[in-house]
Amino acid sequence: GIQVEQSPPDLILQEGANSTLRCNFSDSVNNLQWFHQNPWGQLINLFYIPSGTKQNGRLSATTVATERYSLLYISSSQTTDSGVYFCAVYNNNDMRFGAGTRLTVKP
Amino acid sequence: GAGVSQSPSNKVTEKGKDVELRCDPISGHTALYWYRQSLGQGLEFLIYFQGNSAPDKSGLPSDRFSAERTGGSVSTLTIQRTQQEDSAVYLCASSGDRGGELFFGEGSRLTVL
């Protein structure tokens, strides 16, 4: 099945800093999503982005499907951005999640 | 419903007992997934339902685990003869179609004593 790799596995930032999270996948995909799992365990949809670029406030995402990667940008990070960021891809009836990037934003 | 609803939100049971976890997907969503997440870990795929097609059960860890989806809507995940290693958060998600945007419920936290 398709392989999904996220990097870095852990990231510690000072409040106000910017960051880039990466998701690489091993095959073509029909769908790609970014989720934020907050410290209470809730999975929150960030972007549904099989290709192209989207922005939502301080967050933006870019997927380059032909090169099999997606990037999530977080600007001016806040402590509430802390949690785990998951990338998930859909390919031929198979929905696969990466192992996640654990982000800690310090005040 | 407005979102994916799961019940119970918390379940504590004794080793060897059976448990049932319920998922009510977003109205009209044809695809439904169950995942399991152990503490500090990623999401482990369990089972996938798509419309009237046969479910993809390839992620079920043992024959103690089963799931059904009645009328293309509500799904129940059943764990028989629970073991301590079954302790985890069980997450349900639904989407409007194959590969459509996925929406998660808040999960059912299972603790097996």
- Report the mean per-residue pLDDT for chain A: 95
Of B42, B50, B106, the CB nearest to A42: B106
pLDDT given for residue B1 in this prediction: 53
Q: How far is B13 from chain A (nearest CA, A)?
A: 21
From chain A, the residues in CB contact with B89 under 8 A are: 41
Nearest to B88 by CA among B57, B65, B58: B65
From chain B, the residues in CB contact with A45 under 8 A are: 101-103
pLDDT given for residue A1 in this prediction: 81
pLDDT given for residue A34 in this prediction: 98
pLDDT digits over A14-51, tens only? 999 999 999 999 999 989 999 999 988 999 999 999 99
Whether A10 has its CB under 8 Å from any CB of chain B: the answer is no
Kindly tell me if the per-residue pLDDT of A62 is higher than 70.
Answer: yes
Inter-chain residue contact B42 with A98, CB threshold 8 Å: yes
pLDDT digits over B9-53, tens only? 999 999 999 999 999 999 999 999 999 999 889 999 999 999 888
Whether A96 has its CB under 8 Å from any CB of chain B: the answer is yes
**Pairing state between β A19-25 and A4-7:** antiparallel
| Count of alpha carbons within 13 angstroms of residue A86, beta-carbon side | 24
Inter-chain residue contact B43 with A97, CB threshold 8 Å: yes
What's the rounded Cα separation, in Å, for the pair A100 and A4?
10
Of A41, A90, A93, the CB nearest to B56: A93
Q: Residue A10 is encoded by which pair of tokens?
A: 């852990």
Do the beta carbons of residue A99 and residue A48 sit within 8 Å? no
Whether A33 has its CB under 8 Å from any CB of chain B: the answer is yes
Going by pLDDT thresholds of 50, 70 and 90, the confidence category of residue B7 is: very high
Average pLDDT rounded to a whole number, residues B69-92:
95
Kindly tell me if the per-residue pLDDT of A93 is higher than 80.
Answer: no
Cα-based torsion angle of the residue sequence A21, A89, A1, A65 in order, rounded to the nearest 10 degrees: -80
Inter-chain residue contact A33 with B102, CB threshold 8 Å: yes
pLDDT given for residue B70 in this prediction: 84
Inter-chain residue contact B42 with A99, CB threshold 8 Å: yes
Whether A77 has its CB under 8 Å from any CB of chain B: the answer is no
